[in-house]
Amino acid sequence: MNTGYVHGYSAVEARRLDDQAGVLADLLHSDTAFAPGSRVLEVGCGVGAQTVRLAQAGQGVRITAVDSSARSLELARERVAAEVPGAQVEWLQADLHQLPLAEGCFDHLFICFVLEHLPDPLAALTALRRLLRPGGSVTVIEGDHGSAVFHPDSRYARAAIGHQVRLQSAHGGDALIGRRLGPLLREAGYRRVVVTPRTVYADDGRPALARGFTRNTFVAMIEAVREKALAAGLTTAADWDRGIADLRRTARPGGTFHYTFFKGTAVRQVVSGGLGQCHRPAAQPLSRGRSAAAPGRR
Ligand SMILES: C[S@@+](CC[C@H](N)C(=O)[O-])C[C@H]1O[C@@H](n2cnc3c(N)ncnc32)[C@H](O)[C@@H]1O
């Protein structure tokens, strides 16, 4: 499962996801709020970096967090227990394309930095829609590496980013997916689609952002594919290392870095005749935190 996941599951990658979520919390989550008791399905929860935000986004929120990686789920569970004690989270190891969950049993679906890794994000979004109750909402957050603009400019740095984009594409993903989030949601059958760009801009006036986002999130992610880029013959060691050095330079005094995330929200259409309503409890997840009800039970 997920043999093609380009970022891998190392401790460095887990830390990068933490940095990313911490630094971007306000930018991405200032408007994430759920009605009390909402049933939320988080798909591709990774190490729980977003799960902790979701658990705090509404009173008594009940989350089902899914990932294909057992190790990531373990880390996510530890993190949520430490940071949001009492959070109601059920952990489910499964492929998002084959979720053992009943139709119409969630008020909200949350997907962050996952579609970019899927060979067919449209099929995934379309299939996941049935898990929402009619009128339920979805939030999808994705980046777009084409939005990286920086100073000092460097053709080596731009080439390094381009190599990461090509490698992700060779694994079936799309590191430029942010720009097509709106069309994807509409084509997948969601209604009331709204996409907003969330821009990160780091310079000398924002040293925490330059460190936390530019260096520890973005550059770290590009840097991590060095061996794959060399093995694929995309570049030479000298050119790659120069590109990474130039990218790091943008996080130091005098440098600037710009990147845009896209946050899309939409709803599952309400249909007459009660179609799509939640009628049965979902399959039992592998484990649960606290005394949470099974997803699908009111
Ligand atoms: C970049 S991480 C994002 C994690 C988290 N959403 C965040 O924002 O920190 C992508 C996650 O999606 C998971 N994933 C990728 N393909 C999947 C699939 N087919 N089924 C379930 N999880 C998947 C990976 O295991 C990984 O944990």
Q: What is the pLDDT of residue 6?
A: 67
Name the pTM for this structure. Answer: 0.88
Average pLDDT over residues 39-49: 97
| 44 Cβ below 6 A of ligand 1 | yes
Q: Which two tokens stand for residue 163?
A: 């190599």
Asked if pLDDT for residue 293 goes beyond 60, the answer is: no
| 5 Cβ below 6 A of ligand 1 | yes
Asked if pLDDT for residue 2 goes beyond 50, the answer is: no
**pLDDT classification of 4: cutoffs 50, 70, 90:** low
pLDDT in tens, 231-276: 999 999 999 999 999 999 999 999 999 999 999 999 999 987 767 7
Q: What is the pLDDT of residue 297?
A: 32
Closest-CA residue, ligand 1 atom 1, reads 113
Question: Ligand 1 centre and the CA of 45: distance in Å?
Answer: 6
Q: What is the pLDDT of residue 23?
A: 75
Q: What is the pLDDT of residue 272?
A: 76
Asked if pLDDT for residue 281 goes beyond 80, the answer is: no
Q: What is the pLDDT of residue 276?
A: 78
Question: Ligand 1 centre and the CA of 16: distance in Å?
Answer: 14
Question: Ligand 1 centre and the CA of 111: distance in Å?
Answer: 9
Asked if pLDDT for residue 192 goes beyond 90, the answer is: yes
CB count within 10 Å of CB 155 equals 12
**pLDDT classification of 11: cutoffs 50, 70, 90:** low
Q: Which carries the bigger pLDDT value, residue 285 or residue 186?
A: 186
User: Hey, what long-range contacts does 56-63 have (CB within 8 A, 24 or more apart)?
Assistant: 56/84, 57/29, 57/32, 57/33, 58/33, 58/34, 60/36, 60/88, 61/34, 61/36, 61/37, 61/87, 61/88, 62/37, 62/38, 62/88, 62/90, 62/292, 62/293, 62/295, 63/87, 63/88, 63/89, 63/90
Question: Ligand 1 centre and the CA of 135: distance in Å?
Answer: 25
Asked if pLDDT for residue 166 goes beyond 90, the answer is: yes
Q: Which two tokens stand for residue 11?
A: 């401790």
Question: Hey, which of 68, 80, 174, 222 would you mutate to test ligand 1's pocket, going by the most ligand atoms within 8 Å of its Cβ?
Answer: 68
Residue ranges of E strands in 95-229: 106-112, 132-143, 149-151, 191-202
pLDDT in tens, 91-102: 999 999 999 999
Residues 67 and 94: their CA atoms lie apart, in Å, by 6
pLDDT in tens, 53-77: 999 999 999 999 999 999 999 999 9
Q: Which two tokens stand for residue 249?
A: 């330079």
**pLDDT classification of 286: cutoffs 50, 70, 90:** very low
Q: Mean pLDDT over all residues of the chain? A: 90
**pLDDT classification of 1: cutoffs 50, 70, 90:** very low
pLDDT in tens, 112-151: 999 999 999 999 999 999 999 999 999 999 999 999 999 9
Q: What is the pLDDT of residue 255?
A: 98
pLDDT in tens, 194-241: 999 999 999 999 898 999 999 999 999 999 999 999 999 999 999 999
CATH class of 11-267: alpha beta
Q: What is the pLDDT of residue 298?
A: 29
Asked if pLDDT for residue 185 goes beyond 60, the answer is: yes
What letter does residue 37 receive in the DSSP assignment? T
